[in-house]
Amino acid sequence: MTKKTVRDIDLQNKRVLLRADYNVPVQNGVITDDFRIRQSLPTVDYILSQPGTSLVLISHLGRPEGASDQGASLEPVATTLQELLGKKVRFVASNTGEEVKQASSSMQPGDILMLENLRFNPGEENNSIEFAKAVVEATGAQVFIQDGFGVVHRAHASTDAMAKLLPSVGGLLLEKEVDTIAKIMQAPARPLITVVGGAKISDKIEILNRFIDFADCVAVGGGMANSFLAAEDVRVGKSLVEPGALESAREILQKAKKTESERPFNFMLPVDVVVSTKTDGSAPTRIVDLSSHSLADIMAYPKRPERLAVEIADDEMILDIGPVSAGYISGAIKLSNTVIWNGACGVTETKGLAGASGPFAHGTKMIVDAMIGTSRYHQNRPFSLVGGGDTVGYVEEQGLTEEFGHVSTGGGASLELMAGRNLPGIEILGDK
């Protein structure tokens, strides 16, 4: 972190405007996962520990269509934050105007005020300097602190325009995210394996190329693996495929094969897959042996395996990597010292019927077990960096966030930082 942080600025007797990332899941007004809120607490506590400070919190939540979308209100976040802090957090159902002015003017040292969802105002995503000025003037803020790592890859009013109006520094979470990712990308403990999943190749072309350049192993799973298989002329049935990304997939495969010929490196695609005719878990699943056909031979013995044992039918979809593929990846993880994991390897959100395990989550679960060990006393864990919204959501749902080396609060931001891009919300902050 080459930018100033809260430790590098005098906060005493100041009104502090803190941009946090409280984009958390809410159902019927109740927060179902408070991971991002808890990650902001060190910065909040540090600010409030400075004599005479008062704190105004701003964030977005979801992608609301307007101020009438009360399902995207930050009021439940204020309630949860109040419970976590054990200190009153006042909520104002606006982010500019007279109501905010009145609430701010009555603040005393140690007070906390949370404003309504920034995205209720179109000026937020339009990076409107007028909107930024309205927020700053209404709150009377004297210092701006950026701690919303999950949004710093976007130039919005609360990541760019506001930082131009006030002395601006990073928060402790932002510093932790940047330092952790930078250390892994610059000087990882080797061997380093990267596991890349998710739906689309187009979202991750740049990071895949970067990983091929410096990782010891790249393993591909999830929906994006389908496009790689299709690019190698594997029949994939009704599986999710990006037709426009097939040429990019071929180029990545060509680069990976060239790298394998030049240095110790492995690029792993699924050698077996789990398929079904439906994604909701209501139809039977089966394993298709795409590569060696050993699994198919063993299952069919003493007969020859049927054609379907090694081919995907026209009405079937690939919904998970198979156990052999998961075993290969898990073995590589066990021999590594650093793992970067971004993207689940199957449709992990599908629930099993009658209490059965998620039918398309077995590959992801095997990989997780390899990273963290089946026992919390496992001593040979690699350092694991987990990123990506769906991946983090799965880890949180399983109650495993504390088991990994670092679970990032930013999906797109972490990928762009790993790819070596400058992030607008960080670049605008003052240099150390």
pLDDT tens for each residue of 172-212: 999 999 999 999 999 999 999 999 998 888 888 889 999 99
Q: Are 357 and 274 in contact (CB under 8 A)?
A: no
**Residue 282 CB burial class (10 angstroms; 0-12, 13-18, ≥19):** exposed
Q: What share of the chain is helix, strand, coil (3-state, %, to 5)?
A: 40, 15, 40
CA distance 261 to 255: 10
Judge if 206 and 168 occupy the same domain.
Answer: no
Cα separations in angstroms, 370 against 71, 279, 359, 380, 429: 38, 26, 19, 10, 39
Last residue of one domain, picked from the residues 121, 139, 174: 174
Are residues 365 and 347 in contact, defined by beta-carbon separation less than 8 angstroms?
no
Number of residues assigned to the chain: 432
Closest CA to 404 of 370, 357, 360: 370
Identify whether residues 281 and 395 lie together within a single domain.
yes
- Residue 378: CB atoms within 10 A of its CB come to 12
Q: What secondary structure letter does DSSP report for 163?
A: G
According to DSSP, residue 160 is labeled I
CA distance 48 to 43: 9
374 plus 229 within the same structural domain? yes
Give the separation between CA 2 and CA 282, rounded to whole angstroms.
Answer: 52
**H helix runs in 232-340, sequence order:** 246-262, 294-300, 323-334
- Please tell me the predicted confidence (pLDDT) of residue 379: 65
Which residue stretches of 53-97 are H helix?
A: 75-85
pLDDT of residue 390: 80
Q: Which residue has the tokens 């976007």?
A: 154
Q: Where are the alpha helices (DSSP H) in 86-221?
A: 98-105, 129-139, 172-186, 205-214
- CA-CA distances (angstroms) from residue 172 to 48, 131, 169, 176? 13, 26, 10, 6
Q: Are residues 143 and 195 in the same domain?
A: no
The CATH number of residue 390's host domain is 3.40.50.1260
Residue 236 sits in the same domain as residue 119 = no
pLDDT of residue 378: 59
Task: State the pairing for strand pair 26-27/317-321.
Answer: unpaired
Looking at 6-111, which runs of residues are DSSP E strands? Answer: 15-19, 26-27, 30-31, 54-58, 90-92
Among the candidates 174, 196, 217, a domain finishes at: 174
How far separated are the first and last CA of the chain, in Å rounded?
9
What pLDDT score does 53 carry?
Answer: 97
Tell me if 368 is assigned to some domain. Answer: yes
Same domain, 89 and 213: no
Q: Which of 141, 174, 207 is the last residue of a domain?
A: 174
By residue range, what is the domain housing residue 233?
188-418
**10-residue mean pLDDT series, the chain (432 residues):** 95 97 89 92 97 97 84 94 96 95 96 97 96 97 97 96 97 96 92 92 88 96 94 94 93 96 96 95 93 88 89 95 96 94 91 82 93 69 86 86 90 86 93 90
Q: How many domains does the chain have?
A: 2
Gap between the Cα atoms of 20 and 112, Å rounded: 13
Q: Do 75 and 36 belong together in one domain?
A: yes
CA dist 199 and 345 (Å) reads: 9
Q: Does the N-terminal peptide bond of residue 243 adopt cis geometry, omega within 30 degrees of 0?
A: no
Does the bond joining 382 to the residue before it have cis omega, within 30 degrees of 0? no
Residue 430 in contact with residue 167, Cβ under 8 Å? yes
Taking the alpha carbons of 235, 238, 243, 246 in that order, is the dihedral positive or negative?
negative
Do 30 and 92 have their domain in common?
Answer: yes
Query: 198 in the Ramachandran plot: left (φ > 0), alpha (ψ -120 to 50) or beta?
Result: left
Do 64 and 211 fall into the same domain?
no
Residue 89: inside a domain: yes
231 within domain boundaries: yes
376 & 283 share domain: yes
| CA angle in degrees (0–180, nearest 5) for 280-282-286 | 95
In a domain, 183, yes or no: no
Confidence (pLDDT) at 143: 98
Same domain, 97 and 32: yes
Strands 168-170, 192-196: pairing is unpaired
Cα separation of 427 and 432, whole Å?
Answer: 12
Cβ–Cβ under 8 Å, residues 106 and 139: no
Please check whether residues 147 and 19 belong to one and the same domain. yes
Assess if residue 43 is contained within a domain. Answer: yes
Within-domain flag for 342: yes
pLDDT at 70: 81
| Active site positions, annotated | 36, 200, 389, 412
- Residue 182 domain-assigned? no
- Which run of H or E residues covers position 318? strand 317-321
| Residue 73 domain flag | yes
353 bridge partner residues: none
Nearest alpha-carbon partner for 418 in 432, 403, 430, 406: 406
